[in-house]
Structure 1
Amino acid sequence: MAIKSDYKKMTRILNETAIALKGEELGFKVHYWGAMPEHYDNPLHRHSFFEVCYVLEGNGFYYESNDEYPLTPGTLFCSRPGQWHQIKSLEGLALFYVAFELNEAHSNEAVMNRYLQLTHTNKIVVSTADDTIAAQTWRMLLTLCKQERSMTKEMIRSLAYALLISFYSEFSKVLESDEMAEHQQVSAYLQRAKLFIEDNLTSALSLHLLSNYLHITERHLSRIFSEKLGQTFSHYVQEKRVQKSMELLLETDWSISRIAEETGFESVHYYTRVFTRKIGVPPGQFRKTQLSEAPFNLK
C-alpha cells in the first residue's frame, strides 16, 4: 500500500525521467506527471493537451460538457484538448494523472492521426479499469519509483511510453482498435518481406514465392508494397540488388559477372543495363571512381 511519501516520490521521478518519450511510431511530449493521495476539487478549466487520470481510492465526480461521471476506485478517465472539465470530491481521491501531447517530429503521420482521433471520442471514462493494461502499468510505475534502484530509469521510461500508448486502446472505439491492429499486421508483413528479400537476393525472387512464404495473396502483397513503399515489388527487389552490388563492387575484387550472379541478375548484360540506368554509369566505371566525386543515388 502506498503512503504519501510514495506519491511525492513517484511525481518527482516521473517528471525527471519521463518527459520526452519516443518509440518506433509515436513520440510524446509530457507536460507533467502527478500522483496525489488526496485530490479534492479543482476549478472548471480546459487545456490544449490530453490529461488522463486513474483513481486508486476515494469517490467523487468528473464533469465535462454538462455531463457528470461518477468516480470510484478503478476509474480511468480522459480529459480531451479544448474541453471544459472539472473534478469534485468531498472525501478526496487518491489519483494518478499525466498531461501530454503528441510530438509530431517523432511520430509516424498516419499513426499519429489515428491516435489523435481520441480528441473526438465519446468514450472518456472507463469505470472498471483495474485489470486494464493502463492501470497495471501505472501501478508498476509506482512500484519502480518506490524502489529507485540503478537501471530502473530505463524501465520507467519504457513503461511510461507503454502507458501513453495503452490509452489509445482504452478510449478508442472497437472499430478504431481493429484498424490499428490491421496497420500493425501490415507493418509486420512488410518487415518480414524485406528480410526475406535481403536474405535471398542471390535466388530468383517473385511475388508468388514471397506471398506463399507470408501466407497472403499476391494481390495483398502487391498492395502493401504500393501503399507503404510507393513502388512495385519488382522495382523494390531490383533496387536492393543494385544496392548490394554497389557494396560488392567497392568491398571485393570480384568480377562484374560474379557480382551479377551473387545479386540475382539473370545475366551480366542485364545487370550492366539495369545498373547503368539507375546509377548513371556502368558497374566498372563506378568501381574505378569509388565515389570519389559526387555520390551516386538510385534514380
Structure 2
Amino acid sequence: MANKSDFKKLTRLLNESAVELIGEELAFNVYYWGAMPEHYDNPLHRHSYFEVCYVTEGEGYYYESDREYPLLQGTMFFSRPGMWHQIKSRTGLALLYVAYEIDEARSKREAVDRYLQLLHNNRIVVAQAEDSITAQTWRTLLALCKQDHYMVKEAVRCFACALLISFYSEFSESTEYEDLPDKQQVPAYLQRAKLFIEDNLTLSLNLQQLSGYLHITERHLSRLFAEKVGQTFSHYVQERRVQKAIELLLETDWTISRIAVETGFESIHYFTRVFTSKVGVPPGKFRRSQLSETPFINR
C-alpha cells in the first residue's frame, strides 16, 4: 500500500522525467502528473487537454455533462478537452492522474487520428479497472518511485509513455484494433494462413477454425484474402486442394479415392466435380494424358 511519501516521490519523479514522451507512433506533451493521497472536492471546471485519473482508495463522485458517476477503489475516469467536470468526495480519494496532449508534429498522422476518436466516445468511466494493463502500469510507476538507481528515470519514461498509449484501449468504444491489425502484420498473417492451409489440406478448413488459430476475427481474415490475394477464402482453399491433387496425380500411383481424401474433399464424386470444373477434364483422364506441365486452372 502506497503512503503519502510514495505519492510525493511519484509526483516529483514523473514531473522531472516524463514530460516529453516519444513512442514509435505517438508522442505526448505532459502538462502535469499528480499523485494525491487525499483529494476532496474541486470546482466545476474544464480544460483544453486530456486528463485521466485512477482511484487507488476512497469513494466519491465524478460529474460531467449533468451525469453523476460513482468513484470507488479501482475506478478510472477520463476528462476530455472542453468538457465541464467536477470531482467530489466527503471522505477523500487517493488519486493518480496525468494531464497531457498529443504532440502531433512528432506523431504519425494515422495514429493521431485514431487516438483522437476518444474525443467522441461516451466511455469516460471504467469501474473495477484494477486488472487492466493501464492500472497495472500505474502501479508499476508507483513501485518505481521506491527504487534508487541511475536507470529509474529511463524506466519511468518508458512506462509513462506506455501508460498514455494504453488509455486508447481503456476508453475506446471501438474494436478496431482487434478487427484491423497493424498493417505491418498483414504479410505475417497471410503467410501463416497459407502455411496452415497447405499443411492441413486433409482437414475441413473454414474461416472460424483458421481465424481462431491466428487470433484475428473471421471478418478480417476474409477481407485479407479478398484484398491481398484477390480471392475469397473458400476459393483459395479449393484451388490449393485441386493443385495438390494435380501434384499427387502426376507424382504418385495413389487411387483417385485416396487422393480425394488426402486433399480434403468430402467424397470422390465432389472431388471429381470440382476437379473437372477447374481443370477441364476428370482426374482419371487427366492422369492418363500424362501432361508434361500443369494445366491452367480456371478462376
Q: Under a length normalisation based on structure 2, what TM-score does the superposition of the two structures give?
A: 0.64
Q: 1:123 aligns to what? A: 123
Corresponding residue of 1:180: 177
Which structure 2 residues correspond to residues 185-224 of structure 1 after superposition, within 5 A?
Answer: 185-189=182-186, 212=194, 220-221=227-228
Mapped contact 1:52–1:79 kept (Cα < 8 A): yes
Aligned mates of 2:125, 2:191 — CA distance in 1: 48
Residue pairs, 1:161-176, within 5 angstroms: 161-173=161-173, 176=174
CA distance in 1, matches of 2:191, 2:80: 48
Q: Does structure 2 conserve the Cα–Cα contact (< 8 Å) formed by 1:189 and 1:214?
A: no
- The unaligned stretches of length 5 or more in structure 1 are 194-207, 224-299
- Aligned equivalents of 2:196 and 2:23: distance in 1? 26
For 1:169, the aligned partner's letter is S
Which amino acid in 2 is paired with 1:181? Answer: E
Give the distance between the partners of 1:40 and 1:21, measured in 2 at CA. 30
Partner of 1:85: 85
- Matched with 1:27 is 27
1:267 aligned partner = none
Offset at 1:212? Answer: 4.8
Structure 1 residues 146 and 187: CA distance shift in structure 2, 3 A: same
Distance in 1 separating the partners of 2:37 and 2:171:
25
Evaluate the alpha carbon distance shift between residue 214 and residue 22 of structure 1 in structure 2; reply closer, same or farther with a 3 A threshold.
Answer: farther
- Cα distance in 2, alignment partners of residues 82 and 110 from structure 1: 23
Tell me the alpha carbon deviations over residues 202-249 of structure 1, each in whole angstroms, 9 at most, x when there is no partner.
xxxxxx9999579886753379xxxxxxxxxxxxxxxxxxxxxxxxxx
Aligned pair 1:72/2:79, yes or no? no
| 2-structure distance, mates of 1:164, 1:150 | 23
Counterpart amino acid of 1:221? K
Alignment of 1:267-282 (within 5 A): none
The one-letter code matched in structure 1 to 2:185 is A
Q: Kindly provide the CA deviation profile for residues 118-142 of structure 1, in whole angstroms up to 9, marking residues without a partner as x.
A: 1111010011111111111000100
Off by >4 Å, runs of 4+ in structure 1? 208-219
CA distance in 2, matches of 1:75, 1:90: 17
What is the aligned-residue RMSD (CA, Å)?
2.4
2:2 corresponds in structure 1 to 2
Indicate the SS of the match to 2:181.
helix
Counterpart CA distance in 2 for 1:222 and 1:16 is 51
Letter in 1 for 2:177: M
The structural deviation recorded for 1:45 is 0.5
Partner secondary structure for residue 77 of structure 2: strand
Instruction: Output the amino acid matched with 2:55.
Output: V
SS of structure 2 residue aligned to 1:135: helix
Q: Counterpart in 1 of 2:133?
A: 133
Shift of 1:104: 0.4
Report the Cα distance in structure 2 between the residues aligned to 1:189 and 1:66, rounded to whole angstroms: 44
Aligned pairs, number: 205
Is there any run of 5+ residues in structure 2 with no aligned partner, and where? 198-220, 231-299
Q: In the alignment, what sits opposite 2:253? A: none
Note the C-alpha offset of 1:2: 1.2
Contact 1:211 1:221 in 2 (8 A): no
CA spacing shift, 1:56–1:211, aligned 2, 3 Å: closer
In structure 1, C-alpha distance between the alignment counterparts of 2:196 and 2:108, rounded to whole Å: 25
Aligned residue for 2:12, secondary structure, equals helix
| TM-score when normalising by structure 1 | 0.64
Q: Please say which structure displays the higher CA radius of gyration.
A: 2
Q: Note the alpha carbon deviations across 1:151-189, whole angstroms, 9 max, x for none.
A: 12121111111111111111111xx2x322344332223
Alignment-derived partner of residue 154 in structure 2: 154
**Percentage identity across aligned positions?**
58
Q: Hey, what's the Cα distance between the residues in 2 that align with 1:61 and 1:211?
A: 49
Could you tell me how far apart the structure 1 residues matched to 2:151 and 2:100 are? 25
